[in-house]
């Protein structure tokens, strides 16, 4: 297999670091590697496959000779994504900058891999909460067509970055020691608390995070008839998002039938034994690439409904791993502009 020149933009950040881990773990055929970030992070030293690399400040010329540009998130892709495409690289973007652009594929490899084939130079990674949900929804939708989804998320603080992780740690210590700690990242204390507010409020008093789950799910499934309503909640967990998902389908699907579908679904691990008290939890999914599904049961309030509990490491499958899987698809389908 040929080697491919890869640039990681935002390499020192949490997602950037995970991307490098995943590239190494999956033995991705990296030829030349370039690590980039803002001027503030330039000069840092990072290690990949035992070699040291110095992080460079991102400029349009950072993409010269590169085949794949992995953007870890933030505003960088909006500023430098077009320059990367002009220089022949395919951009895989973890930010929300291009997700709803009709000319940009929004891809989860277990759900809509073929969409990478029609890219115009940029491919978007979905929101982390959407990603793990659609991996679980896909086998159900294929079997009995989903009409409606009601989801409540329980999202780890690491989804808001390193500063949020530090804030949870500092607040927890402060509360246990009886000291004051003023919140900075979140609007309220997150330690020993739940905050039903992620991102800004938009139409109908839903947050931007909630609308992402609505619109992105429909785009990925290629089905605007699937209605989605979401409530997203920040919880005092360091890593891995959890979701309580209620699904209404057009045809009846028993819990046993659903379990068999999940057991065969790519990227899904079923953990579902109520008698043995076995179910997915954030600690179970840490540093794993799979989506864990459990608490599979029929909805007692409607004739054709299911309840499931879904957990995944949002820094892995929700971001870094999904991005690297997209890069693997580009190679498999011969969609790189070499």
Task: Please report, for residues 116, 131, 164, 256, the alpha-carbon distance to residue 294 in angstroms, rounded to integers and kept in the order given.
Answer: 30, 17, 28, 12
**What are phi and psi for residue 144, nearest 5 degrees?**
-135, 10
Neighbours of 263 (CB within 10 A): 13
Tokens standing for residue 104? 């940009």
**What are phi and psi for residue 279, nearest 5 degrees?**
-160, 160
Q: Are 316 and 82 within 8 A, CB to CB?
A: no
Q: Is 128 tagged catalytic?
A: yes
Q: Which of 110, 76, 98 is nearest to 7 (CA)?
A: 76
* Euclidean distance between CA atoms 125 and 263, whole angstroms: 25
Which residue's entry shows tokens 């499931």? 308
- Active-site hit among 128, 141, 197, 222: 128
Alpha helices in the chain (DSSP H): 14-25, 76-86, 128-144, 162-176, 208-221, 255-264, 282-285, 321-332
Which residue's entry shows tokens 């973890």? 94
- Active-site hit among 141, 241, 287, 335: 241
Indicate the burial class of 229 (C-beta count within 10 angstroms; 0-12, 13-18, 19 or more).
middle
**DSSP structural state of residue 172:** H
Evaluated on CA atoms 309, 155, 48, 73, the torsion sign reads: positive
Which residue's entry shows tokens 């008093």? 205
Q: Is 141 tagged catalytic?
A: no
**DSSP structural state of residue 103:** T
Strands 146-155 and 227-234: parallel
Task: Please report, for residues 166, 193, 206, the alpha-carbon distance to residue 284 in angstroms, rounded to integers and kept in the order given.
Answer: 22, 22, 30
Active site residues: 128, 241
């Amino acid at each position: 297999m040929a080697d491919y020149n890869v640039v990681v933009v935002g390499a020192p950040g949490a997602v950037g670091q995970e991307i490098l881990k995943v590239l190494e773990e999956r033995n991705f055929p990296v030829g030349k590697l370039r690590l980039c970030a803002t001027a503030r992070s330039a000069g840092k030293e990072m290690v990949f496959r035992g070699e040291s690399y110095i992080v460079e400040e991102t400029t349009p010329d950072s993409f010269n000779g590169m085949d794949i540009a992995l953007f870890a998130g933030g505003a960088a892709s909006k500023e430098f994504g077009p320059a990367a495409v002009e220089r022949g690289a395919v951009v895989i973007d973890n930010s929300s900058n291009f997700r709803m652009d009709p000319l940009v594929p929004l891809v989860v490899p277990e759900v809509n891999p073929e969409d990478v084939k029609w890219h115009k130079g940029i491919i978007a990674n979905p929101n982390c909460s959407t990603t793990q949900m659609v991996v679980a929804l896909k086998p159900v939708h294929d079997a009995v067509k989903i009409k409606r989804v009601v989801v409540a998320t329980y999202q780890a603080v690491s989804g808001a970055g390193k500063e949020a992780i530090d804030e949870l740690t500092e607040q927890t210590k402060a509360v246990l020691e009886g000291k004051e700690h003023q919140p900075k990242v979140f609007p309220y204390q997150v330690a020993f608390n739940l905050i039903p507010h992620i991102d800004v409020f938009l139409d109908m008093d839903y947050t931007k995070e909630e609308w992402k789950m609505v619109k992105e799910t429909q785009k990925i499934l290629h089905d605007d008839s699937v209605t989605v309503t979401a409530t997203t909640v920040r919880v005092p967990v360091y890593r891995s998002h959890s979701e309580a998902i209620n699904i209404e389908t057009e045809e009846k699907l028993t819990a046993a039938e659903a379990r068999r579908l999940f057991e065969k679904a790519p990227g899904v691990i079923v953990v579902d034994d109520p008698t043995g008290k076995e179910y997915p939890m954030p600690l179970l999914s840490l540093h794993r690439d799979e989506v864990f599904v459990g608490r599979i049961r029929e909805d007692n309030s409607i004739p054709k409904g299911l309840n499931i509990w879904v957990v995944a490491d949002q820094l892995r499958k929700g971001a870094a791993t999904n991005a690297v899987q997209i890069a693997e698809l580009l190679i498999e389908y011969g969609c790189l502009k070499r």
